[in-house]
Structure 1
Amino acid sequence: MLAQRLRQARKAKGYTQEDLAKLVNTKKTTISNYETEYSSPSNEMLIDLANVLGTTTDYLLGRTANPSPKEAEKEMSLFFYDDLEGYDELSPEEKEVFREHMYDEARQAIELVKKLKKQGKRGGMYER
């Protein structure tokens, strides 16, 4: 599965094996070995490959059929909200509005954490 998906994703981006190898700091033969199932990438290399190819490690490994990282985020958010009381009673349109709102809230929370970390706030989870 990995070999086939890696090859498909590489070709979809218009990369040769040599192009991809340069982008992930390895050799063309290494990429060839992955695509022929002669060897498998390390976890770190798998992450690099997914990032360069604009997909997810789950897609490359065959855990999901959707190659889009954005769609994978939506699938994750849907999974998260499935058990939330009252969520199931919302219409599809209301669910979409809810998810967009929660996405905005989460993005703001991430920015706050980054800002606090940058300012060197002490205490709790921000201390390093």
Structure 2
Amino acid sequence: MFGKRLRELRKQKKLTMKELGNLFNLAESTISGYENETRKPDMEIIKQFADFFEVSVDYLLGRTNDPSPSLPEELEDPEISVFFKDYLSSPKEKQEELRKIWEIIKVREAGRKPGDKQK
């Protein structure tokens, strides 16, 4: 299934095997081997292909017919997604600070008993 999906995606982008290979520093024969399923790519190259073609790894591997990477349902909540977008666009130092704050909250919550009021 991987080879078939790779071929379809490559053709959708109007790339030859040689052109795709050049983008990933792979020989044309390697791409041909993947598409004909005579060679198996390692997981790192599969992830790179998924990112390049903007599909999920599961789609490339034939585990799903939905090509779009899926998010957990909770992350589709607009308030939560804004938080993650803000987090991802923050400098690394801010991200680290937010992780520490979250750890403090988790530790504090772990010590609470059901029915306790928040402080």
Partners of 1:61 and 1:10 in 2: how far apart? 15
Tell me the TM-score normalized by structure 2.
0.71
- The answer to whether 1:105 aligns with 2:100 is no
Q: What do residues 94-125 of structure 1 show as CA deviations (whole Å, max 9, x unaligned)?
A: xxxx71221111111233462436xx97xx59
Residue in 1 that maps onto 2:24: 24
Partners of 1:64 and 1:11 in 2: how far apart? 20
Structure 2: give runs of 5+ residues left out of the alignment.
102-119
Structure 1: give runs of 5+ residues left out of the alignment.
82-97
Residue in 1 that maps onto 2:40: 40
Structure-to-structure mapping, 1:39-118, within 5 angstroms = 39-69=39-69, 72=70, 76-78=71-73, 80=74, 99-112=77-90, 114-116=92-94
**Count of residue correspondences:** 100
Root-mean-square deviation (CA, aligned residues, Å) is: 2.6
Q: What do residues 27-54 of structure 1 show as CA deviations (whole Å, max 9, x unaligned)?
A: 0000000010101101111112122222
Partners of 1:13 and 1:115 in 2: how far apart? 38
Amino-acid identity (%) = 31
Q: Which has the higher helix share?
A: 1
Measure how far apart 1:55 and its partner are: 1.7
> Highest Rg: 1 or 2?
2
Name the amino acid aligned to 1:105.
F
Tell me the TM-score normalized by structure 1.
0.66
